[in-house]
Amino acid sequence: MKKFAAQLLWLALALLGAGACVTLARHRGDYLNSIYILIAALCTYAIGYRFYSKRIAVRFFLLLFLAAHIGHAADEPRLLSHEALTSFEWFSSLDFPDVKGCPFGSVTTGSWHQTGNLPPQNRHINAFLLSGNATQFTTLGLDLFNRTLIKNTGAAPEHQRVGFSKLELKSEAAAFLQHVSELKKDEDLFDPLEERVTTRVYAFVFAWGCWRNGLDSEAEQLYRLSKRLRYGIEQVDEEKYQAVLEHEIGYAAMWRAVIDFGNTTITRPQLLAEFQAIASKYPHSGQQERAEQTAAMLQKMIAEDESHARTARTNIAQLSIEGRVRELIFQLRDQHGEQGSQPGWCDVFFNYERTTNTPAHQLVSIGYSAVPKLIAALEDQMFTRSVGYWRDFMFSHNVLTVGDCAVEILGQITGKYFYTPTHSAGYMSTDKKISETHKLADAWWAEFQKKGEKQMLIEGVATGDASAISQANILIARYPDAAASALTKGIRATSNLGIRAKLIELLEKFNSSEALAFLEREIHEGNDASRAIAAGILFQKGRTTALKDAICEWQTSPDYRLENDQGLTGLARFLAGVDSPDAIAALGRNLQTRPLNTRMAIVHAVGEGGTLYGEIRPIAERSTPTSDTIETFLITSLEDAGQQPGDSGPRLGRHYRDQRICDMAAYYLNQLWPERYHFDLSGTLEPRDRQRAECQNVWTQTHIPK
């Protein structure tokens, strides 16, 4: 009896252990589940064999193994680990749109980019379709950006097409996992220019979307993948992974919220809700302080908006000048400007709708009467609807203040900029230069009251400082009689080569003996850029001696000695651009004695016609003597096998790599005279050499007597 009781006890313990293994297998839902189930079955087999018979043990083993797998298959949702489920439920509490039952697919955004001469490329985003109709649709991207896009109404080029293409979520998840598994060790998962969230968050959101749509196995695999992905050199703390997600999602949410300031369809109360949500939902993200400060400012602005709406005049044209200025400065909180380049600065006077009746434009039209209140407004830190950034593919975004707008408006009215950024994307408010800028503006205005506009402009141009160019433009427009003298003083005074070049360019507007004499001296006494500008202005004015002087400087000046030749110069570009066989011949004279990069640069300049951005000037724009000299120059350069290793890129859709000077010469011959010379820059060495020889033969047959 005791033996039988012991056997029953051991059997119960074995079955309990086996059940625990099965439960663990079901709970983990990974590749180990079969191992756990197998362990449970083996334990049962061992107990059965020990206390009963081999036949009974085998039956126990098979029944338990089969039952465990059937139970596992019937309980599919438990493929998801407790950790992943907890993280997904936390993410669902953040109020992102629920994607359950939403189609998954690829969004063609119509936002396109182009690299070199390659065809433009549409930007594609993987996203869940939240809603849509015949004209527009709304998606939540795996980058967590909520987009509402307008469909193309007519035929549009592929790179401008806007639409949604449905994809099968399960197969896309499998393809993504496969793609990641095939990446090399240090290979990036995404093009860094396309990122808006970290690669970890992207994979996590993908996992969450699979979970919301019943794909627990894919969700678990993507979740584990997201934990392994690195962002740059940063190593994820897997023990505190939800905190990592909170940090990175909070970062993305802040980025999106700041960008939303530039979307004038989003109201200030909606913006307030965004920043309040960041402060409450991501307390450990590092964004809480900024979110709380922004929310507090928005609350103040909303209260002022409501108060102002009760008292403001609907027709500001009926107000006095002072009243109009006050009202327009208040309206600067709705000033929407855009940024046209990066790196660069947001221009409060520019928007893609080309609106020119904004509060900023109207204040400029009022002119000096607006200056005192604009100076006072430099201290106004209320937000506008203008957003600036260093690069749009990284979170470098800042919202301009009313004070930032005021300093730009003052510059437009007076030509004097009281704040000059020292770095790209710098603003008075973000650089904490408000008080300093205010003092400078006050001092300038006090002096202006004594001296008047004309004298202040003359003195401003003569200093050659950062505001000299804008003040020179106003001086030329309003007081042209005093402008040439002030310009020459400013040119001599400035040490900034860029400012010097711009001021010299403005001398083109004058034909006075003083201006022309200054330009003639500049060809011999200036720097490389200013010599080229001066020569170009004089040449356009019909002063033929300017070309001879430029050629002489190129050949004899110490600035262009061989030991100083490190590439293309402004003077060489000028000579390549003028319609003169003498200028082209001068560039080709003793060319083989110059350094490799200089020879290559001059071949580019001559082949392109002296253009700035790689465009090729049609040969038809040159006279026959100049065209013949260019052709001879390029034919001669076919003998130059000098090579620049590592230099590569696209030209007119064809890629080149490690090109030689002779290759580029043949390329330009083909581009300028395509019916005469044939050359494929992207070809391998052997066909390029054959085509180069053919180019030489073509020229020889027509230019050398038999």
Which pLDDT tens digit goes with each residue over 234-287? Answer: 566 667 888 989 998 999 899 989 999 999 999 999 999 999 999 999 998 899
What is the structure's pLDDT at 28? 45
Query: In this structure, is residue 258 part of a structural domain?
Result: no
Tell me how far the alpha carbon of residue 394 is from its chain's centroid: 8
Same domain, 460 and 537: yes
Together in a domain, 92 and 228? yes
Q: Which of 402, 423, 445 is the last residue of a domain?
A: 445
The reported pLDDT for the residue numbered 180 is 86
Domain's final residue, options 445, 478, 504 = 445
Burial 234-271 (b: 16+ CB within 10 A, else e): eebeeeebeebbbbbbbbbbbbbbbbbbbeeebebeeb
* Same structural domain, 102 and 37: no
Domain presence at residue 567: no
- CA 526 to chain CA centroid, Å, is 37
Inter-residue contact 124 to 150 (CB < 8 Å): no
Find, among 309, 345, 534, the residue nearest to 427 by Cα.
345
On whether both 477 and 434 belong to a single domain, the answer is no
Long-range contacts of 118-123 (CB under 8 A, 24+ apart): 118/650, 118/653, 119/159, 119/653, 120/157, 120/159, 121/159, 122/158, 122/159, 122/160, 122/161, 123/194
Phi, psi of 658 (to 5 degrees): 50, 45
Q: Which domain holds residue 366?
A: 316-445
**Domain shared by 344 and 432, yes or no:** yes
Inside any domain, residue 431 = yes
Total domain count, the chain: 5
Report the C-alpha gap between 539 and 545 in whole angstroms: 8
Q: Are 41 and 147 in a shared domain?
A: no
Residues 339, 382: one domain? yes
| Token pair recorded at residue 368 | 């000096």
**Which SS3 state, helix, strand or coil, does residue 263 take?**
coil
**What integer pLDDT is reported at residue 257 of this predicted model?**
94
d(CA 72, CA 38): 13
Q: Which of 643, 624, 620 is nearest to 689 (CA)?
A: 643
Please indicate, yes or no, if residue 598 is contained in any of the structural domains. yes
Residues 90 and 231 in one domain: yes
Is 275 domain-assigned? no
Per DSSP, the three-state class of 150 is strand
Residue 185, judged by CB atoms within 10 A of its CB (0-12, 13-18, 19+), counts as exposed
In a domain, 19, yes or no: yes
* Cα distances (Å, whole numbers) of residue 615 to 58, 98, 453, 460, 672: 82, 50, 43, 37, 12
- Choosing from 519, 544, 560, the residue where a domain stops is 560
Q: Are residues 512 and 650 in the same domain?
A: no
Q: Is 300 domain-assigned? A: no
Residue 623 is assigned to a structural domain of this protein: yes
What's 158's DSSP letter?
Answer: G
Nearest alpha-carbon partner for 78 in 35, 19, 29? 29
Spatial separation of the C-alpha atoms in residues 574 and 569, rounded to whole Å? 9
Name the one residue in this structure whose structure tokens are 């309980």: 75
Q: Which helix (H) or strand (E) holds 110?
A: strand 104-113
Cα separation of 653 and 466, whole Å?
A: 40
So what's the pLDDT on residue 63? 53
pLDDT score for 199: 85
Same domain, 139 and 110: yes
Co-location of 405 and 366 in the same domain: yes
Which residues in the chain come in under a pLDDT of 50? 26-32, 72-77, 192-194, 232-233
Using only the alpha carbons of the chain, give its radius of gyration: 36
With tokens 């359950």, the residue in question is 100
**What is the pTM assigned to this prediction?**
0.76
Same structural domain, 114 and 199: yes
What pLDDT is recorded for position 528? 87
